[in-house]
Amino acid sequence: MTNISLIQGNITTADVDAIVNAANPVMLGGGGVDGAIHRAAGRALLEACKQVKPVNGIRCPVGEARITSAGQLKARYVIHTVGPRYRIDEHPEELLRSAYRNSLQLALENHCQSIAFPAISCGVYGYPMDEAAEIALGECSKEVYQSLAISFFLFSQSDLDVWQSVCQSLKSK
């Protein structure tokens, strides 16, 4: 996992090719990380999101990802992904894994060398931090993604501690 770093900080300040947004299915902003990214990126991000064609009002289904320009962020792109709602959506593990996988694939397809993730689904969607970290780190450490510099921006010291612990246990397996 030499290409993966864990950082306590604000993802909107990440100096990377792509920032991943823990979006909602309509992709028009919201609370938490989604709201913070939209505020930092400015109106241009909202306008870019509006260009993504909705199907039945949904621009990005759970587990999928979409890419837009990044507005005023340092990043070139924002990759929007919708994680599962824990204990509500069926098969949340696979949906969360898919959200990470689809985000990483979009980064590779768009020639990104670096990508920053939040802890997808760990806020109001209620995913337990340790379970989410195991899924995220497991997916991101696959050989196919070794060319990407992957950063996880975690909101609090306690979140960072959980991810570091999971990272250590995965390394020792």
Report the 3 state secondary structure along 123-148.
Answer: CCCCCCHHHHHHHHHHHHCCHHHCCC
pLDDT of residue 173: 72
The residue segments making up the domain with residue 47 are: 4-171
Q: CA-to-CA distance for 96 and 81, rounded, in angstroms? A: 10
The number of distinct structural domains making up the chain is 1
What are the residue ranges in the chain where pLDDT is below 50? none
Q: What is the pTM of this model?
A: 0.96
- Model pLDDT, residue 126: 96
Q: Is 161 a catalytic residue?
A: no
Given 15, 17, 34, 159, which residue is catalytic?
34
Q: Domain of 32: which CATH number?
A: 3.40.220.10
